[in-house]
């Protein structure tokens, strides 16, 4: 296993970042650094717990590996599968994708919003990073729609149009998990916002989701998505 920085290395880094010999300034820098490391560590651990859950591993198996009780593991990590998504950090484009997913669900006569609707909704923001990455890999809106029709067929039209509660959208458990997981992906990349690129990466946290299956079937592996997203972000920075 690759060793992390030892205590002296961490102290030296904090002193250098503080840029001052003042003890209080060094303490403030230390507090900020430790908080950032803690948040990143929690996000990284949550990422691998998500992957284990998405692969069908039980909370008993996960808690055994972590060396904690099943109850403790469930309490710490289960919220990303059950809690209502929080959109405070979402960019305008990411929010537009989430909102468009509801419209797509209605068009398909579905009374729920699943990962397949979120994936289709990404094409409503063609200038966003996620849509560009998808198109770059030849994954078009038409090809995704065809795949969605196979795995999640449209419902039958009814006399009464489908209505989705705008105040409490009926996200599936997997869709809610993606929306929560996008925040973790942003933290992993050191971002204080959630964009469409983070939503795209969050699909891979659950290998059993419809959107993830479609992405993998159409040739977009997680590693390739990461590479292209990083390249796009570096382009913006330059």
Tokens of 12: 């030296």
User: Mind listing the domains of the chain with CATH numbers?
Assistant: 7-66 (no CATH), 92-237 (1.10.1780.10)
How many CB atoms are closer than 10 A to CB 56? 9
Rg (CA), the chain: 20
CA dihedral 100, 87, 129, 186 (to 10 degrees): -150
pLDDT in tens, 40-54: 676 677 778 777 766
Q: Taken in order 98, 102, 108, 110, is the CA torsion positive or negative?
A: positive
For residue 230, give the H/E element and its range: helix 222-237
Tokens of 13: 């880094």
pLDDT in tens, 122-163: 999 999 999 999 999 999 999 999 999 999 999 887 644 455
- 197-209 mean pLDDT: 92
């Amino acid at each position: 296993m690759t060793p992390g920085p030892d205590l002296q290395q961490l102290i030296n880094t904090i002193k250098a970042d503080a840029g001052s010999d003042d003890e209080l300034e060094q303490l403030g820098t230390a507090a900020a650094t430790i908080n950032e490391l803690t948040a990143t560590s929690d996000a990284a651990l949550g990422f691998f717990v998500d992957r284990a859950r998405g692969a069908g591993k039980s909370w008993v198996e996960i808690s055994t590996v972590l060396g904690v009780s099943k109850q403790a593991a469930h309490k710490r990590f289960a919220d990303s599968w059950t809690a209502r998504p929080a959109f405070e950090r979402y960019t305008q484009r990411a929010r537009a994708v989430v909102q468009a997913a509801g419209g797509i669900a209605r068009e398909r006569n579905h009374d729920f919003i699943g990962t397949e609707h979120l994936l289709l909704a990404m094409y409503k923001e063609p200038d966003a990073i996620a849509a560009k990455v998808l198109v770059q890999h030849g994954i078009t809106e038409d090809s995704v729609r065809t795949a969605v029709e196979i795995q999640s067929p449209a419902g039958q039209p009814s006399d009464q149009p489908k209505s989705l509660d705008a105040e409490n959208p009926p996200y599936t458990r997997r869709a809610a998990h993606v929306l929560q997981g996008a925040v973790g992906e942003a933290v992993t990349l050191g971002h204080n916002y959630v964009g469409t690129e983070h939503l795209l990466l969050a699909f891979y946290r659950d290998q059993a989701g419809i959107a993830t299956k479609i992405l993998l079937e159409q040739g977009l592996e997680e590693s390739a998505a990461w590479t292209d997203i990083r390249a796009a972000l570096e382009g913006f920075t330059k």
